[in-house]
Amino acid sequence: MQVQAQGDKRPRLGAYFILTYAISWLAWGAMIIFQLPGGSVDPNLPAPPLGGLLLLALGAFAPSIVGVFMTWRTGGQAGLRDLWKRCTRFGLGRWPYLVIFLLPFLLSGARIAVQLLRGGSLSLPAPLAQPVLLVGFTVQIFLFGPLSEELGWRGFALDRLLARRGSLWASLILGAVHALWHLPLFFVPGTIQQLWGAPLLNWSLFALGTIGGAIIFTWLHETSGGSVWAAILYHMTSNYALSLVWMSFDGGAIDRLVIALTSLVLAAVLVGIGRLCPPRPRRAVERGRGAGSR
């Protein structure tokens, strides 16, 4: 059965993107203008002031906050119940779980291999050197990114794009929107993106990797029957691995290029697998959520 929008409140994808960008970019823009430091995943760096942390969090959680709001506006209580079921659909099957845990490992291995081939060195990341930091690091990684974003990107937007476009085009569009949304973070003092330096170059490389990652997210979405939990968990394992390796070494733009190219290669492999072994048919309710979206 399909979740019907209340009254004449049709799902509007454009409204979701506009509201998300407005909240995030206003919050992060204020941090840039007033030079308020943002937080970093590295526990060796100083904590940001409360004002900066609140603005950073407001911008970070906008995708999920707006996603939940738009789900309610377009689907009412039934839409919220469906979103909750998809967020707690843990039975993904062996292949999605294999991808969720294996791909970040492969990506990290490629980064480490290139770093060593270039004659670089590695150090033990702080959360591994000081296990007492591991719990806080894990909670931070889970909140900022997986939980703060995926109820929107994959919980609301992706189904509506899939209803109008093929899987590849939906992935490319959402990946580009997702990458551009991150752009202000490359100018917010103290964020991991700003610490990379050369903001436009590193954002461009980051965008390539994000688009490759979007294809992987869509593969997981369709293979798991629209599970938002799959997106949350993959976002977490990816960020976890990326952050630990970054705390081990900073390979500069070359490292970001390795991330981008490896992500695209892994995405291409999954697309090829998807052609050979098509994902399970998605429920009508999920396709129905995107019907008529604009």
Q: How far is CA 226 from CA 167, 218, 271, in A?
A: 13, 9, 17
H or E element, residue 201: helix 199-223
* Residue in this structure with the two tokens 């990326």, named with its chain if needed: 242
Identity (one letter) of the amino acid at 187? Answer: F
pTM over 0.75: yes
Domain boundaries, the chain: 13-290
Q: Please report the pLDDT score of residue 288 as a whole number.
A: 40
Tell me the longest C-alpha to C-alpha distance in the chain.
63
Q: What is the pLDDT of residues 274-291, one digit of tens each?
A: 766 665 544 433 444 443
Q: What percent of the chain has pLDDT over 70?
A: 88
Q: What is the pLDDT of residues 38-88, one digit of tens each?
A: 877 666 677 788 899 999 999 999 999 999 999 999 999 999 999 999 999
Report whether pLDDT(3) > 90: no
Q: Please report the pLDDT score of residue 17 as a whole number.
A: 98
- Mean pLDDT calculated for residue range 226-244: 97
Q: Please report the pLDDT score of residue 277 as a whole number.
A: 61
Q: What is the pLDDT of residues 38-48, one digit of tens each?
A: 877 666 677 78
